[in-house]
């Protein structure tokens, strides 16, 4: 079992906001950090697993009346196996990453304007930084 962590390149790693440079929609926005993959120490016998890729993505969540729309705004592949291989054994590792969001990125918010205050209705836009590994699964094949 792995623990995947996204660590900011500067500032407090426990802060609720991830640091970035730039202004959304006006200038390039740069999000820098480090992706760290470590074995879970609670597992009795950690072993490397076949992995096909590792990615970092910036996701926008628009919520209106408890309905949420999730959209991947930017995605960066930070690790791939050696050329010619579909996967490779991956153990503990770290790598730096940078996501650049240009001002021309469409749909920085799909929220409509809510005129007045409607009881029981709320709207919010939030941003989330995600990371993940994609594991290769060898499933048994059954004759068709």
d(C-alpha 41, C-alpha 116), whole Å: 52
pLDDT tens digits for 53-81?
888 988 888 777 778 888 888 888 888 88
Query: What pLDDT is attached to residue 70?
Result: 86
pLDDT tens digits for 101-126?
888 876 555 555 554 555 666 677 77
Q: Is position 99 within any domain?
A: yes
Q: Is position 143 within any domain?
A: no
Range of the domain at 94: 2-108+120-135
| pLDDT-wise least confident of 82-86, 117-121, 138-142 | 138-142
Mean pLDDT of 92-101: 89
Q: Is position 88 within any domain?
A: yes
Q: What token pair was written down for 74?
A: 């930017």
pTM (2 d.p.): 0.72
Residues 41/127, Cβ–Cβ less than 8 Å: no
Q: Is position 49 within any domain?
A: yes
Residues 61/126, Cβ–Cβ less than 8 Å: yes
| For residue 139, pLDDT beyond 50 | no
Q: Is position 142 within any domain?
A: no
| For residue 98, pLDDT beyond 60 | yes
Q: How many domains does the chain have?
A: 1
Q: Is position 140 within any domain?
A: no
Q: Is position 113 within any domain?
A: no
CATH number at residue 27: 2.60.40
Q: Is position 29 within any domain?
A: yes
For CA atoms 14, 16, 22, 27, the dihedral sign is: positive
Count of alpha carbons within 13 angstroms of residue 12, beta-carbon side: 4
């Amino acid at each position: 079992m792995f623990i995947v962590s996204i660590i900011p390149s500067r500032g407090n790693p426990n802060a609720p906001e991830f640091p970035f440079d730039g202004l959304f929609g006006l200038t390039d926005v740069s999000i820098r950090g480090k992706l760290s993959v470590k074995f879970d120490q609670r597992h009795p016998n950690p072993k490397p697993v076949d992995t096909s890729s590792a990615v970092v993505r910036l996701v926008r969540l628009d919520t209106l009346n408890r309905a949420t729309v999730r959209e991947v705004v930017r995605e960066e592949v930070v690790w791939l196996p050696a050329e010619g291989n579909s996967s490779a054994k991956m153990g503990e590792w770290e790598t730096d990453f940078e996501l650049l969001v240009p001002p021309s990125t469409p749909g920085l918010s799909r929220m409509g304007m809510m005129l007045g205050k409607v009881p029981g209705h709320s709207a919010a836009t939030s941003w989330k930084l995600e990371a993940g590994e994609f594991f290769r699964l060898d499933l048994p094949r059954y004759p068709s």
